[in-house]
Structure 1
Amino acid sequence: MIVEECLRIPEVLRLIYDELDKRTSLSLALTCKPFLEPGLDRIWRNITSFKPLIACIPEDIWKLDVISVPKRWGFNIFMVCGKFNFQQRSLTKHFQSPRRDLTSEDLRRYLRYYAPRIRQFAPCLHTRMRMLSIEALQALQIATEYQAGALAPRLQEFHWYRPQQCILALGEPFARVLAPFVSMFLGKSLVSLTVDVDASDPPVYISSVRLAMKQLPLLRSLNLGLAGFSEGWTQPSLWNMGGLERIKVGNLPIGVIPHLASLPNLTSLEVNGIQVQSPAPPIAPNPTGFASLTKLEGCSDSPSDIKHILQHLAPHNDLNAVEWSHSLSTSVSDYQETIDAIAQYCSPSLRQLDLFSIDAVDEERLDFDAEEPIDISPLFQFAHLRELDINIAESVPVTPEFLAQVPDAWPHINRLVLCPTVPSSQTPLIDHSHILELARKTPSLRTLGLRFDSTRITGQETVAVADSPQLRKLIVGESPICSPSRVSTFLKSGFPYLKALDNCYKSILERRNISTKRWAAVHEALRS
């Protein structure tokens, strides 16, 4: 009896349906009346084609148009009179067209019972998909009186495909003019939008995207890819979305950054490429810039590109996590400019800083100037730092004096990795005693990545149990090593909680020199 009563609670049924696929949900929904409504909510929550809409409209409306459209890529090759002939391939497309005029009464069943249940619409594009014709889409617009979001009034997530992505599935003539009809699915309830726009796209598509961005007051998450634009996206009206909390943008024009900084609720910003102008536009002071931003993540050609965003931060900001990578080789001065910009603009509350390079450089510079090291001491001002990960092609010089300041500067540090992304020819200025002392004085430290001179290890070092560090992972880079047996003995006694040993190099070439072989032997000894 208790079970039966529980199964009459809609919330319980929804939890059950969340674990089922659509086919099973349909079977369960048809078993009894209390199961029907929650089952329909589950079945219609995520729609991946136009078939459900077509099926809900009276059959006498439709006629099937079979159209042959040229395939953009590929040719059929055949022989005629001993010569090769090339014939462009064609694709057969199936479009549903109206046989008669479409009225609001024809849509009543769909709009009343099913459309309000849709939360996510992401059509699966394929060459055999059945699609509504342009004439059918026009008829739907008229029947819904051009109301935005009429076909999915409570839609929350939408993935908008570029015309280029639709050509193979729908044919180029149709794909180029589809965009204006998308508004029938974009209502004011939308909270997440994913869309890519290229300067080469049809003007009607670009205009449709811009118009949609102005009409989504509840939007919380925007994934926007831009390509080929130097301007045209800097109008303030495009960014009048005060509810935006998360933005992921590709090829960000530098002129858009001030508008992003003015969004009061933006907490997460991810940038994949920055289009830098030369000269850069002047920066107007913004005492409330990025007022709610807590996480900044991105990738650009140069690490110092991050400065174009950081300089818009308010003096008292809440940014606590920065992850930035760069794809091109750069100089020590560029890295130093990046470190200085972070120290200048970020709040003392910063807790996570990850800087790394993703280029294909496999070895350090041929002409190395030891007199121009990267100075990361400006980062000592971030007393709340929990994670510092700097993996770049240039070595960050780590001295005994530097390590001696770490426990006081970063008392809560949990992860500290300062290994270069490529093996270094420089002799480390610290040895095993320094890393042991650092780990002892920073009780929160669990992951440590430093190059150190292990050739001085004798294997006779003793560590009091009460002083044993809590370190779980040690990243050694290509640290000098002579005796794997002595090093493994030291690590077992000095770091009894150590679970993992790594050299952190993920280069395009597999290195198997004597140093990596010795560290591999240490790794095996620790596992035994």
Structure 2
Amino acid sequence: MHRAFKSEDIIYSVLKYLKRKDLKNVAMTCRDLSAPARNILWSKRTSMVSLITCLPQDAWELKDYTINLTREPTPSEWGLFQTNASRVRRLIVLNPDRCMPWQKRRIPKINVSGLLPRLLEQFPPATLFPNLCSFDSRALRESSSDLSLVRKFMSPRLEALIVHVSATVPPYEVEQFIGALAIEGHGLRQLSISMDDGEMAFAVLPNFEYLPKLIELAIHGVDVSLTRQTITNIQQLRCLKTLKLSLLGTCCDGGVVALELSSLESLSLSGVDSGLPQCTRFIRQITTRQLSHVAITYFQRASPIELFAFMESLSGLCQNHGSLKQIRVVDKTPRTLRPYYIDSLPVIPLCSDVFRPLLKFTGLLSVEFVDTGNFLLDDQFIHQITDTWPGIQKLGFESVLPSFINVTFNAMMSLATKCKLLRSLSITCEHSQPILIPQAEDGTERLWPAQTALRALNLEDTPLQEVGNLPYILGNVFPALNPARFESGRYVMIPDPIPSNPPIDVMAEIKRALWEMPDRVDYRVHPDSDDEYSEYSEDEDLYYLDYQYELESDSGSED
């Protein structure tokens, strides 16, 4: 073995890039690298299921998705259990909203009424998990709201804590837990607390004066009638970089002067009860020096006036307009995708003037508006985007609702080709007429200049009525465009040249033509690093694998 592998830092720097199956092989075949490989394999877990299944198979049984011990393990078997537990650094659960369908397979649940209390009584969490730095109470399954049990996992070494409290927990227990955070979790750098999945507000919040290391805070359940008090409390977090709040209630406790959160870089707000105006009122109560990310989610449809008011409020929020890099606004109003339901919704025309206040933020790299209304953009606004945000990387005006078509295909192409860093574009444009290839003065073809960054193009509500020149234009102008990520919400079936054949799907035909074009990136051979599916690491995939895989992977057994 190369002498470089005598350095532990080099070993971990190399092994952390291996896939799980390769790490398994290293752990089983190389004695010198076995321990580091197993440390990485065990570093991230979602429950204690895999710890139990590393015991001999005759020591436990699975029945009705519940694991129980069938006999008392021997001291050496318990030793293996403790060894593997000591390797766990993150006991967390992947956010279900970010899961892909194949990640949602059910894994067996621990019998909380018997096995879990017994294990944690025999092996206190502080000693069982000496290297634990991140803990999510959902890892305790049915006991996720047992705050007395959650407190056993808290220690000065814990850096990240996620707690989900059920509405059935008595208020005095919640207050006791909140009060204990300052003493038992003073080393926390990340804290997320949720009351009834964000549907209920916390009566009291921690005194953040005693959590000085906190850089990321998420509170799912903030009473807006206590807005001023809440912000004043959060101001004590001098190092806070990320703030995520779910706002509840309708009466906002406002003040005349905005309170400054000087270190804040990322702000996420969710308007649960009163929608977007709820978020706007909160934003008007704070100001920041270096905010770079804003994410807004609301659950009631917003009018153009309310959206414009929100855009205007960003000027007071961001003292430095050039610091804002990303904005994402999503309307999550419950709705069905059935066509007759969408057609019955009132039209919310969002013209370019609604979005023009954003043009003062010249440093924007990502702008997304999802299902916020019926977009009514024009060419002038598209050209302004090109001039104001030359470094834009992601631009999306996405909606399941019909859009008004005022943006021409030429304006869309001009935007996409002049913004050389643009990687993802979602917009509706005119395509009811055949697209003509631009001509030079001598009559020869003169396509738009090639843009090699664009990976994803969604033409949204653009009516694709023919194949025509579109594959030729897109394939040559955007050589890196991934055909699998070229989409449109409106396309037709056209007759096949051979009458006996079924009609042709325009979208499928365009994609087929793009796949077959030469001299283009073939994503069937070279995976698209920008694809949304690639953001889920193999470790995260493991979260939702069934226990059989964990047994077969051999990550839970030692020689």
Taking structure 1 as the reference length, the TM-score comes to 0.67
Question: What corresponds to 2:61 in structure 1?
Answer: none
Q: Secondary structure of the equivalent of 2:307?
A: helix
**1:328 to 2:300 alignment:** yes
Q: Name the aligned partner's letter for residue 429 of structure 1.
A: N
Secondary structure, aligned partner of 1:474: strand
Measured at CA, do residues 199 and 238 of structure 1 come closer, stay the same or move farther in structure 2, by a change above 3 Å? farther
CA contact (8 A) 1:375 1:396 kept: no
Higher relative contact order (CA 8 A, sep 6+): 2
Deviation at 1:450, TM superposition (A): 2.2
In the other structure, the counterpart of 1:345 is 317
Distance 1:327 1:230, change over 3 A: closer
Report whether the alignment pairs 1:307 with 2:280: yes
After superposition, what is the alpha-carbon deviation per residue over 1:293-327, rounded to whole angstroms, capped at 9, x for unaligned? 22233543423433244334435x22112232333
Q: Could you say which residue in structure 1 is the equivalent of 2:159?
A: 191
Contact 1:214 1:238 in 2 (8 A): yes
Summarize the alignment of residues 416-431 of structure 1 with structure 2, pairs less than 5 Å apart.
416-424=395-403, 426=404, 428-431=405-408
Equivalent pair of 2:471/2:510 in contact (CA under 8 Å)? yes
Cα separation, 1, equivalents of 2:171 and 2:139 = 12
Q: Which amino acid aligns with 1:329?
A: R
* CA distance in structure 2 between the partners assigned to 1:443 and 1:184 by the alignment: 53
Corresponding residue of 1:213: 181
Q: Which has the larger radius of gyration?
A: 1
CA contact 1:94–1:130 (8 Å) conserved in 2: no
Between the aligned partners of 1:43 and 1:391, the Cα distance in structure 2 is 38
Shift of 1:341: 2.1
Structure 2 equivalent of residue 390 of structure 1 = 369
Q: Aligned ranges for residues 461-480 of structure 1 at < 5 Å? A: 461-462=438-439, 464=446, 467-470=449-452, 472=454, 473-480=456-463
**Superposed CA offset, 1:179-228 (max 9, x none):** 44654442212111121123421456424421331122210111211236
- Shift in CA distance, 504/340, structure 1 to aligned 2, threshold 3 Å: farther
Which 5+ residue runs of structure 2 have no aligned equivalent?
53-66, 73-78, 94-107, 440-444, 495-503, 517-559
CA distances 1:74-112 after superposition (whole Å, capped 9, x unpaired): xxxxxxxxxxxxxxxxx999999xxxxxxxxxxxx99x9
What residue identity is the alignment partner of 1:127?
N
CA shift, 1:151, in A, is 6.8
Q: Does 1:226 align with 2:226?
A: no
The structural deviation recorded for 1:35 is 8.8
Q: Structure 1: any 5+ residue segments left out of the alignment?
A: 54-90, 97-108, 142-147, 167-174, 506-510
Q: Residues 476-487 of structure 1: matches in 2 within 5 Å?
A: 476-487=459-470
Assess if the C-alpha contact under 8 Å between 2:49 and 2:109 holds in 1.
Answer: no
433 and 209 in structure 1: CA distance in 2 versus 1, 3 angstrom threshold: same
Which residue number in structure 2 is paired with residue 260 of structure 1? Answer: 234
1:401 aligns with 2:375: no
Equivalent residue for 1:522? 510
Per-residue CA distance 1:417-464 (angstroms, 9 max, x = gap)? 22433233x3x2232222233334333333332222123435343453
SS of the residue corresponding to residue 200 of structure 1 reads coil
- The structure-2 alpha-carbon separation of the partners of 1:381 and 1:15, relative to structure 1 and needing over 3 Å to count, comes to closer
1:71 corresponding residue in structure 2: none
Identify the match of residue 380 of structure 1 among 354, 359, 363.
359
State whether residues 327 and 366 of structure 2, in contact with CA within 8 Å, keep that contact through their aligned partners in structure 1.
Answer: yes
1:445 is the counterpart of 2:445: no
**Which stretch shows the higher mean deviation, 462-471 or 351-360?**
462-471
Partner of 1:296: 267
Deviation at 1:28, TM superposition (A): 9.1
Determine helix, strand or coil for the equivalent of 2:354. Answer: coil
Work out the CA distance in 1 between the residues paired with 2:347 and 2:467.
Answer: 30
Alignment of 1:20-99 (within 5 A): 49=48
Candidates 248, 255, 258, aligned match of 1:275: 248
Q: Secondary structure at the match of 1:212?
A: helix
- The CA distance in 2 between the partners of 1:247 and 1:205, in whole Å, is 21
Distance 2:25 2:205 in 1: 48
Check conservation: 1:224, 1:250, Cα contact below 8 A: yes
